[in-house]
Amino acid sequence: MNTTNTKPYYAAGLAAFVIWGFIPFPLKALAEYPSGQILYFRVALSVTLLLLICLLFRKKQVKSTLSQVMHSQPKDRRRFILFTILGGALLTINWLLFIYVINHINIQTGSFSYLLCPIITAVLGFILLKEELRLNQWIAIALSAVSCALVGSGEITSLLFSLFIALSYAFYLITQRILKDYDKIVLLTLQLMLSFAFIGPFYTYFSQGATVALGTDFYLNIVMLSAMFTVLPLFLNLFALKELTSGTIGILMYINPILNFVMAFLYFGEETTTLKVLAYIIIFISVIIYNLNLKGRKKKGDGLIIPPVGTTAVGK
């Protein structure tokens, strides 16, 4: 009989998503700076923190991962290299798009993309990984398509950005499912190192158009974005996944976009239309329908929810 007290794990999972739900605050504080410049420093600091954590506290996992790769079959080794590089590229694209959308379009668009993400991930899983979908999940997918049509009929630009963000992160999640046998923190550290290698040579390009000099406020917000809104919730989520099912995590993850929506209207004063409200209601209903029959799911410990500048993933 399992007598494990799951309350600390629920608390950790809940805390992770609440933290990610408030990501618009540090991003909005950096709105005067180019999105690429924010991305550059956010990746640089995040990978520095993760490298320190790996070298100081996770040497065993690093050595184990390296040994696992070195002793794998050539085909598996090539797959590891390919999907690690692809994952780093997808994460970079996703983060950049999310920063741009939050600061230059609106919070609603960014939040809508992460309500869409689980549904899109399910479709990609069905197409690419041959994962089965239940009838209620197909109904949820159909409702999500209706929701997208409603948003697109009102403002096609917002819909396209939402879809690009959701697709980039959904494809990223697919790469993580393929690499599910490897340590998540070590894998993320490698991907962020690759991300920094991708964007490092282009810093001059990313910082073009900057009208504000980098000062104390900029660096403080970058530290907050990287440490508090990336590394801290990442570890809280990993702790939660030790005992919680991926289905439970899948439910908790919707706290994030819901908080984003609430802040968009109540704090940042964003406006919306009746059509968009209807679309948001439909997508939210589809999420509930998609997650029905969770009790029938097997417990999985292969999930990881990594914030694309502070949002969520599913199945993970």
Q: Is the pLDDT of residue 31 over 60?
A: yes
User: Does residue 302 fall inside a structural domain?
Assistant: no
- Reported as a single tens digit per residue, the pLDDT across 118-154 is 788 888 888 888 888 888 888 988 988 888 888 877 6
Q: In 3D, which of 233, 260, 238, 243 has the Cα closest to residue 117?
A: 260
Per the structure block, which two tokens stand in for 271?
Answer: 């406006």
Q: Is the pLDDT of residue 246 over 80?
A: no
User: Does residue 313 fall inside a structural domain?
Assistant: no
User: Does residue 121 fall inside a structural domain?
Assistant: yes
202/139 Cα distance (integer angstroms) = 44
User: Does residue 316 fall inside a structural domain?
Assistant: no
Q: In 3D, which of 173, 171, 180 has the Cα closest to residue 79?
A: 180
Task: Please check whether residue 232 is in contact with residue 75, taking contact to mean a CB–CB distance below 8 angstroms.
Answer: no
User: Does residue 51 fall inside a structural domain?
Assistant: yes
Q: Domain range spanning residue 44?
A: 7-296
Give the number of domains in the chain. Answer: 1
User: Does residue 251 fall inside a structural domain?
Assistant: yes
Average pLDDT over residues 62-66: 94
Query: Model pTM?
Result: 0.86
User: Does residue 207 fall inside a structural domain?
Assistant: yes
Average pLDDT over residues 21-38: 93
User: Does residue 305 fall inside a structural domain?
Assistant: no
Count the residues in the chain.
Answer: 316
